[in-house]
Structure 1
Amino acid sequence: MRRLLIATALLLVAPLVAAQAYKWKDASGTVHYSDAPPPQGTQYSKISTNGAVEPLAAPAPASSTGTTTESRPKPAASQLPVADTPENRAKLCATLKSNMETLNSAGPVVLQEGGQQKVMNADQRKQQQATNQAQYQQYCSGS
């Protein structure tokens, strides 16, 4: 009975490890992080948390040109380059494997699009499966 309670507790906590977070600056320049979206009309970026303590890549050096980056659009986290290290490749392969298990399961898969959650249809699921499998073969088949 005790093992069942522990297993249930772990299953309930698991989604929190890979949670969605939001980052934005208020009018006074204070940076905020939250699991809820900021007030409507506020420019923000989405941050996917994976429960890791260390960053996946070293932060980019600060620009010395004197121009502010607030006027330029910031790339999404998935567009930033990540160093090809054995640790990062192992994390990528684990993520791809987990994604394939989710995509191959019978349950619905929910997408986050424009701040709204949408259930992935069969065509989207097939496309994601093909993309995910190709990435797994490219990056993980030799490891």
Structure 2
Amino acid sequence: MRRLLIATALLLAAPLVAAQAYKWTDANGTVHYSDAPPPQGTKYNKVTTSGSVEPLATPAPAVTSDGSAEVPTKPNTTQPVADTPENRAKLCSNLKSNMETLKSQGPVVMDDGGQQKVMSTDQRKQQQAAAQSQYQQYCSGS
């Protein structure tokens, strides 16, 4: 009788090992995983966990309600740009323009996974510091 109870308890606990999780990327490019859904309006993927570190199989593309396969989105991986005087001048011009925009008093809107969001003061400061650092690194002789 005791073995039957233990076996039943193990069978009932098995579904708890496979849990639902959510994965999304924030405006700063940080990937988040959570057992609770992300804030409303955030694009996310549902991830089923199995309790194992290794994937059980290569995931198949998700199928949408219209029957088409959903292609998982990949981060924007751009190819390196050749370090030519023309490209460096464009980079420096863009960095200078970005710094001026970030220092202005008006709102700065950023694309957050397909949604337009106004940058917070902290986000502006982070972006200003990053742009200033890049400008000093690549444009100090320009």
TM range (shorter): 0.3 to 0.5
Bigger Rg, which one: 2
TM-score, normalized by length of structure 1?
Answer: 0.47
Higher relative contact order (CA 8 A, sep 6+): 2
